[in-house]
Amino acid sequence: MVSTEGAPTEVLAVSPIDAEQAEAVWPLSIEAGWNQNAADWRFMLAAGRGYGCTGTDGRWQASSLVLPLGQKLAWISMVLVTKDRRRGGVGTGLLKRCIDEVRAAGAVAGLDATELGRPIYLPLGFHDLYRISRWHLDRVPQAKAPPPGITVRSVELADLPRLATYDRPLSGMERPTILAHLAMRQRGLASVAETPSGKIAGFVLGREGRVATSLGPVVADSEAIALALTAHAMASATLPFIIDVPDAHLDIKAWLEAAGAVSPRGYMRMTLGDAKGLDDPSHVFALAGPELG
């Protein structure tokens, strides 16, 4: 996510990045080859706090984001630096600014680290929680029926408070705004699983991306329900797909591999401090993405 330190060639002033500047900062994602589109940036900057640096030409040279996930947890992401500004300490400086802000609020900082980023975070005090694989898929996998007694239907507006209540203890995050945004943004991908009594047993959300449809989060009572939800969403989605799955979920891995999915990239979920429930992915079968937690 950020590069190693080098000798800075120029001191760049740090400025807030507002939601209105989403289109201007989006090229940082494009240069890095990431999947965010302008709508992602617009939402993240409105829901969180963005900081970055511009060059003399006014273009954004670096970015960072703090996304609150309740009073006790904040997600750090989108630490991006243009190629000609890397190895100058810009990214690390923005990262430390984000960490200071989270600490000042009395919260725990979380992030998903790439293999290159993890060696930078460890000396700063971050510790590993669990590994994640990003799967790329160019065709729809085999359909998966829900377990007996479980029904899958589209998410409705009235479901949103219940989704947030269901999600909180299982994901370890307080993210009603994120869940509502994703559910309403791509309603064709948003589904909920229910028991015969109408109790929520899982849900899947997703969004369109710059180069692929991103599926997640997927939170469920069991892996069988998660598979049914994910298959249901993929049947309605535009190819290709990406999905970030904790490595602990072997059935989902086998199902994706059987459809020809490949995983060229992985992440390590990390925190600076202890966040209750965040270290247990047993009910989190796909993430919202490293930018959203």
The rounded distance, in Å, linking the Cα atoms of 134 and 243 is: 6
End-to-end Cα, the chain, rounded Å: 15
Q: CA angle 212-214-215, nearest 5°?
A: 140
3-state SS class at 217:
strand
The rounded distance, in Å, linking the Cα atoms of 252 and 264 is: 17
Q: For 98-152, what is each residue's pLDDT tens digit?
A: 999 999 999 999 999 999 899 999 999 999 999 999 999 999 999 999 999 999 9
Q: State the residue for tokens 């709508």.
A: 39
Low-confidence ranges of the chain (pLDDT < 70): 1-11
Q: Which tokens belong to 195?
A: 């028991």
Specify burial of residue 66 (Cβ count, 10 A radius: 0-12, 13-18, 19+): buried
- Is there a contact between 243 and 259 (Cβ–Cβ < 8 Å)? no
Query: CATH homologous superfamily of domain 134-286?
Result: Gcn5-related N-acetyltransferase (GNAT) (3.40.630.30)
State the architecture of 14-106 in CATH terms: 3-Layer(aba) Sandwich (3.40)
- Is there a contact between 226 and 99 (Cβ–Cβ < 8 Å)? no
Q: What is the DSSP string of 160-174?
A: HHHHHHHHHHHHS--
Same CATH topology for 14-106 and 134-286? yes
Residue 9's pLDDT is: 47
Q: Which tokens belong to 44?
A: 């993240």
- Is there a contact between 84 and 45 (Cβ–Cβ < 8 Å)? no
Facing residues of 115 across strands?
none
The rounded distance, in Å, linking the Cα atoms of 220 and 202 is: 4
The rounded distance, in Å, linking the Cα atoms of 17 and 248 is: 36
The rounded distance, in Å, linking the Cα atoms of 267 and 288 is: 13
The rounded distance, in Å, linking the Cα atoms of 104 and 216 is: 30
Residue 8's pLDDT is: 43
Q: For 152-180, what is each residue's pLDDT tens digit?
A: 999 999 999 999 999 999 999 999 999 99
* Nearest in space to 214 (alpha carbons), one of 180, 250, 189: 189
Please tell me the pTM assigned to this model. 0.94
Domain ranges of the chain: 14-106, 134-286
The rounded distance, in Å, linking the Cα atoms of 62 and 51 is: 8
Q: How far is CA 6 from CA 60, 64, 80, in A?
A: 20, 19, 16
Helices (H) and strands (E) in the chain, counts: 9, 13
Q: Does 217 sit behind a cis peptide bond, omega within 30 degrees of 0 on the bond before it?
A: yes
Q: How far is CA 19 from CA 24, 25, 65, in A?
A: 10, 10, 12
Facing residues of 289 across strands?
none
Q: Which tokens belong to 263?
A: 């995983």
